Amino acid sequence: MKNIRNFSIIAHIDHGKSTLADRIIQECGSVTDREMGTQMMDTMDIEQERGITIKAQSVRLNYVKDGKPYILNLIDTPGHVDFSYEVSKSLASSDGALLIVDAAQGVEAQTIANVYMALDNNLEILPVINKIDLPAAEPERVAEEIETSIGIDATDALLVSAKSGIGIKDLLDAIVDRVPEPSGDPDKTTKAIIYDSWFDAYLGAVALVRVFDGEIKKGQAIQLMSNKEVHNVLELMYPHPLKRHNTPSIQSGEIGIVVLGVKEVGIVNVGDTMTDAKEPCAESIGDYEPAKPFVFAGMYPIDTDKFEDLREALDKLRLNDSSLSYEPETSLALGFGFRVGFLGMLHMEVVKERLEREFNLDLIATAPSVVYNVYLNDGTLVEVQNPSELPEVNHIERIEEPYVKATVITPSEYLGNVMNLLVAKRGIQQKMDYLNEERVLLEYEVPMNEIVVGFYDTLKSISKGYASFDYDPTEFKIGDLVKLDVLVAGDVVDALSTVVPRTSSEQRGRALVKDMKEIIPRQLFEVAVQAAIGSRVIARETIKSMGKNVTAKCYGGDITRKRKLLEKQKAGKKRMKSIGKVNLPQEAFMSVLKMD
């Protein structure tokens, strides 16, 4: 155990986490130059495209320092706040963390959020200033920022360039010297934490674990503490992006992959503790809580016949993403679909994209909503995940909405813009710190409703891309909220309802119907689009009827040609959703997203 080092890498997006991980793997000689394709550690297509890590990856490496062999276990963490539960479990499996900060960019919002989590887990933090090869690199200034913003000593920060390989050897030596050796008692009964799990087509549910006490042996009967499920260990492996090694056991302090042959979903869960079935340990490691979705959206197949296909696709996705939750839902406007819960906006986008890309489905996603705690006059609490299900106003005693702690770091020249934005989003300032003369750290309490859609893009655009943002859900607070309905041709389209603050409801209603007018193409009849609160119409636009759609050309007997032209148009219409007599394009459902 003395020769093992378990460490994670934490960083703001684009500061070089993946590049550095690849460089470390290479330095340890675990992968040849030729095998070194584009970024080893991000394996899903979408991960590579978006440059984010969704599933935690791990690799076991061999390293020699001063003639002594060491095992370095690199535990990669998901790179996005949506997956912070998984991040926290990855960190719980580590003993130290490399804090990567871009030498030209400095500390960003995500850096800070990650550090707090690492500190919560009592990890030894090694500040690493990356990209020192850049002409714009300012390592001293960045070191200072680390000290002022996070309060950790950055005098021995490691200066590296993951790209050109500068300082990598020193970094590895520092990992050996400064990351504590694993704690845990090899003589006690088995105790391990599951920090990632996924579904393998051949092996079934697979768990990536860190063993604290005892060992896990092939053939051993183990128990999953949250659900008391008992299973035999079929196989054990050490993780590696290219070549996994089988092993008869995983020892105290080690990480490894455990194959249990479980074919059902929802049994092997991230955060759960694995112990010996015959001699279980007394307490689990930390609290196991299933990942809780924060954002909900309706997902409907455009082609109403595809409901079962959508169910199957969701079932399949859930095999690899236990945080995905969904239940069937019916919309008057959209028919049969699912209300799907997500960990955050990115999670939602990734899921929608995978459903469309990997399962070939055309979907309408309704505007995402947070969960509202609605207290009725008779004292009952209703959790509303779908704005159209908000109870009648006269039954409601109060509505509570979820808040987040939003962390923003911005160059001081955009401070005014950023503060105005946060205020417009009903934010309340908690903290404002100058990291240095040029950069300011802000912490605000903001209703989550205000940041689920468009906030990040707006923040980026008002700060020329320089401000960074992260958030952390906090608590529910009372809010003066109303349901804003949209009526198309006189009928409420349930999928377009949103919950908004009363004070800005009229302005939002007007903006929304204006947008809808641009998006909805002319129809055979005049169509009225209205925004209403309860029975009160607050805004109205009219879409004029169309004058012409016909090809007035001579076809003679070549009627097939004419039919094919019409079929093309029909295919275009199929991508719209017909609601009563009106065809609504998909963008209409997203237009509620763009309200500012």
Ligand X SMILES: Nc1nc2c(ncn2[C@@H]2O[C@H](COP(=O)(O)OP(=O)(O)O)[C@@H](O)[C@H]2O)c(=O)[nH]1
Question: Is the Cβ–Cβ distance between 453 and 368 less than 8 Å?
Answer: yes
Quote the tokens at residue 19. Answer: 């590049």
* Least Å from the CB of residue 13 to ligand X: 5
Cα distance between residue 535 and residue 540, in whole Å:
13
CB-nearer residue toward ligand SAM: 136 or 550 = 550
* Least Å from the CB of residue 572 to ligand SAM: 22
User: Which amino acid is located at 140 in the chain?
Assistant: E
- What would the x/- binding string for ligand SAM be over residues 506 to 545, using CB under 6 A? ----------------------------------------
Instruction: Name which of other proteins, ligand X, ligand SAM, none residue 134 binds, using a CB cut-off of 5 to 8 Å depending on partner kind.
Output: ligand X
Sheet of 335-342: strand order equals 325-331, 335-342, 295-301, 363-365
CB-nearer residue toward ligand X: 15 or 55 = 15
* Least Å from the CB of residue 562 to other proteins: 7
Instruction: Name which of other proteins, ligand X, ligand SAM, none residue 14 binds, using a CB cut-off of 5 to 8 Å depending on partner kind.
Output: ligand X
158 closest CA partner among 180, 144, 139, 141: 139
Instruction: Name which of ligand X, ligand SAM, other proteins, none residue 590 binds, using a CB cut-off of 5 to 8 Å depending on partner kind.
Output: none
Instruction: Name which of ligand SAM, other proteins, ligand X, none residue 428 binds, using a CB cut-off of 5 to 8 Å depending on partner kind.
Output: none
* Least Å from the CB of residue 557 to other proteins: 4
Angular region, 355: left φ>0, alpha ψ -120 to 50, beta rest = alpha
CB-nearer residue toward other proteins: 282 or 552 = 552
Q: What is residue 567's three-state secondary structure?
A: helix
Quote the tokens at residue 360. Answer: 């070939």
Q: How many CA atoms lie within 13 A of 207 on its CB side?
A: 33
Instruction: Name which of other proteins, ligand X, ligand SAM, none residue 235 binds, using a CB cut-off of 5 to 8 Å depending on partner kind.
Output: none
Cα distance between residue 432 and residue 265, in whole Å:
45
Give the residues lining the site for ligand X (CB under 6 A).
11, 13-19, 51, 79, 130-131, 133-134, 161-163
Q: How many CA atoms lie within 13 A of 518 on its CB side?
A: 9
Cα distance between residue 527 and residue 538, in whole Å:
17
* Least Å from the CB of residue 530 to ligand X: 45
- What would the x/- binding string for other proteins be over residues 278 to 297, using CB under 8 A? --------------------
Q: Counting contacts by CB under 6 A, is residue 553 touching ligand SAM?
A: yes
Instruction: Name which of ligand X, other proteins, ligand SAM, none residue 535 binds, using a CB cut-off of 5 to 8 Å depending on partner kind.
Output: none
* Least Å from the CB of residue 134 to ligand X: 5
Query: What's the DSSP call for residue 282?
Result: S
Max Cα distance, the chain (Å): 90
* Least Å from the CB of residue 206 to ligand X: 24
Cα distance between residue 140 and residue 154, in whole Å:
9
* Least Å from the CB of residue 137 to ligand X: 8
Cα distance between residue 149 and residue 105, in whole Å:
14
CB-nearer residue toward ligand X: 76 or 485 = 76
Instruction: Name which of other proteins, ligand X, ligand SAM, none residue 252 binds, using a CB cut-off of 5 to 8 Å depending on partner kind.
Output: none
Q: Counting contacts by CB under 6 A, is residue 554 touching ligand SAM?
A: yes
Cβ within 8 Å of residue 481, ≥6 positions away: 372, 399, 401, 499, 500, 501, 502
Instruction: Name which of ligand X, other proteins, ligand SAM, none residue 130 binds, using a CB cut-off of 5 to 8 Å depending on partner kind.
Output: ligand X
Instruction: Name which of ligand SAM, ligand X, other proteins, none residue 339 binds, using a CB cut-off of 5 to 8 Å depending on partner kind.
Output: none
* Least Å from the CB of residue 571 to ligand SAM: 23
* Least Å from the CB of residue 568 to other proteins: 11
* Least Å from the CB of residue 82 to ligand X: 15
Q: What is residue 436's three-state secondary structure?
A: coil
CB-nearer residue toward ligand X: 26 or 161 = 161
Interface with other proteins (CB under 8 A), residue from 576, 584, 588, 595: 576
Q: Counting contacts by CB under 8 A, is residue 570 touching other proteins?
A: yes
The residue count for the chain: 596
* Least Å from the CB of residue 306 to other proteins: 16
Among 36-44, 390-398, 461-469, 562-570, the segment contacting other proteins (CB under 8 A): 562-570
Question: What does each C-alpha distance from 188 to 9, 66, 271, 281, 413 come to in angstroms?
Answer: 29, 32, 21, 8, 57
User: Strand pairing partners for 232?
Assistant: 221
* Least Å from the CB of residue 559 to ligand SAM: 15
Cα distance between residue 339 and residue 383, in whole Å:
14
* Residues from 522 through 561 that contact other proteins (CB under 8 A): 524-525, 546-554, 556-560
Q: What is residue 560's three-state secondary structure?
A: helix
10 closest CA partner among 20, 1, 2: 20
Cα distance between residue 113 and residue 469, in whole Å:
10
Question: Is the Cβ–Cβ distance between 25 and 59 less than 8 Å?
Answer: yes
Instruction: Name which of ligand X, ligand SAM, other proteins, none residue 486 binds, using a CB cut-off of 5 to 8 Å depending on partner kind.
Output: none
Instruction: Name which of other proteins, ligand SAM, ligand X, none residue 242 binds, using a CB cut-off of 5 to 8 Å depending on partner kind.
Output: none
Question: Is the Cβ–Cβ distance between 215 and 186 less than 8 Å?
Answer: yes
Quote the tokens at residue 368. Answer: 């995402």
Angular region, 449: left φ>0, alpha ψ -120 to 50, beta rest = alpha
CB-nearer residue toward other proteins: 32 or 560 = 560
Cα distance between residue 375 and residue 399, in whole Å:
6
Interface with other proteins (CB under 8 A), residue from 562, 585, 588, 593: 562
148 closest CA partner among 436, 415, 343, 349: 436
* Least Å from the CB of residue 573 to ligand SAM: 25
CB-nearer residue toward other proteins: 459 or 527 = 527
CB-nearer residue toward other proteins: 228 or 548 = 548
- The sign one gets for the Cα dihedral 550, 553, 559, 560 is negative
Place of tokens 């590579």: 48
Cα distance between residue 36 and residue 31, in whole Å:
7
The contact set with other proteins (CB under 8 A) reads: 524-525, 546-554, 556-560, 562-563, 566-567, 569-570, 573-574, 576, 578, 580-581, 583
Name the site residues for ligand SAM (rule: CB under 6 A): 553-554
